[in-house]
Structure formats: structure tokens, C-alpha cells
Structure 1
């Protein structure tokens, strides 16, 4: 079994991503690993790029940073030794598959965007196909 030093978990605040966070926290404790919470604001879902869209993305980023700080504290309370978080804007598939120095990516089988799963394929599927490290999909 691999010794994971850094475990990333994809967070979109859906029920599935919170289940993935629970599993990633367990693994981080078992491996004495750093837990990295990753939230990506999918700017493609905003439609056309405009000043409004950019302002909305910045407001959403501020809100998500506060939510992520809360999740960080909760993970530390469960016994995870070190937790860090990242909130980015862009393509979740691209950002999650290019995380540096990550040994394992944990994500939920489905997220908030069920329409995308029907139309384009899920973020989880893309991560499984393109990640440079191990991937765990949580149901």
C-alpha cells in the first residue's frame, strides 16, 4: 500500500464532496499526511465573460474561502495533523489534475453539476483519466 504524504480532496460543498472530505480525513490520519482541500469555482458556468461575471466570481471566491476555513478547522478537530486549502477559479478538471506534489486525489462520484455529467462527463471521470497520482472516488 502506498504511503501518501499529501492528500487532496475536491470540495464543491455538495453532499458527495463532504463524504469525500470525511474519507480523505480518515486517510490523512492513517498516513499522517497533509490534507489539502481544493475548491474550484468553475468560471465556464457563468456564461459570457463580463465585468459582472468577474465581480461575481470574486465575491463567490471570498465566500468559499470562509467556508473552506470552517472545513479546515473541522478537519483539524478530527485529528488530521495539517490542513491547507486552495480556492481557485477556472476549470475544476484542469486544476485538480495539475496539483503539485499530491500523492492522492479524493473526490465524490458526483458533484453539484449533474447537467455537466450528462453532457460532458463528470469532473471525477476527468480526474481519474488525467491525474498524475492515485485517485479515490467516494460514493
Structure 2
């Protein structure tokens, strides 16, 4: 039985893989007449001592992300998706992406911007697959 999705989220970190995930989300959303939620998580847990030097760093990243996310929102809308939401959160991507309220399908890249994190503490995609409460689709 194929599930009909009403709300599809796509994890965006602006990597090549997340752009492929966005393309897939558009296709799946069209097939399901679904809402697309673009979600970007500013990984403040990786900042470490940066915050001690510049308290505005997270806010600057958020503003830059909002500009890029607005462009992606327009791209998704131009592809024929009538309802597109943009969400930008601060915190741990591993935690935030596994707890998305109302989302029935999360589409994300199999790898993201940092391969170092994968070697040291395990990939975000792996954590999502193990812990998410919704269906997951990984894109290569």
C-alpha cells in the first residue's frame, strides 16, 4: 500500500545532496498534492567557542539562511507546489529533524556539508533514520 503524504519536509543545508533532496521533494509533493516544508537547522551546538567571540554569529547565519531559503521557496512555488513553508531553527539538526510536528515524510540528503561529523560522531542522516517519528527518504 502506498501512503498518501499531506506534508513533506526537506532538510536543507545548502549542500549538493540537500538540493537533490529538494528536487525529490518537489516530485513527491506533486504526486501527493502535498505541502512542502523547507527546514534549515543552524547547528549552534557545533559553534563551540565561536559564540564567545561573536554573539551575533548565529543571527548572521540565520539571516543568510533566510535569504537562501526564500530563493528556494520561490523555486518550489515556481515548480507548481502551492503551499511552501520555510522553517529555520537553531540547535542540533539530529534532534530537530527527528521531531517535526505534522510532517509525514522527511526527505534529506544521505550526506551533508560535513564528512568530518560523520567520522567523529555519526551522520545526521543515520540519527534521523533511527529516531524519526515520520517516514524518511534519503537521497544520494
Which category describes the TM-score, using the shorter chain as reference length? over 0.9
1:97 partner SS: coil
Which consecutive aligned stretches of 4+ in structure 1 deviate over 3 angstroms post-superposition?
49-54
Q: In 2, Cα distance between the equivalents of 1:52 and 1:104?
A: 38
- Give the equivalent residue in structure 2 for 1:95: 96
Superposition CA RMSD, Å? 1.1
Structure 2 spans left out of the alignment, 5+ residues:
none
The TM-score with structure 2 as length reference comes to 0.96
Q: In 2, Cα distance between the equivalents of 1:91 and 1:113?
A: 14
The structure-2 alpha-carbon separation of the partners of 1:42 and 1:53, relative to structure 1 and needing over 3 Å to count, comes to farther
The structure-2 alpha-carbon separation of the partners of 1:6 and 1:50, relative to structure 1 and needing over 3 Å to count, comes to same
Contact 1:9 1:21 in 2 (8 A): yes
Contact 1:29 1:81 in 2 (8 A): no
For these two proteins, the number of residue pairs brought into alignment is 139
Contact 2:51 2:57 in 1 (8 A): no
Q: Equivalent residues in 2 for 1:113-128 (5 A)?
A: 113-128=114-129
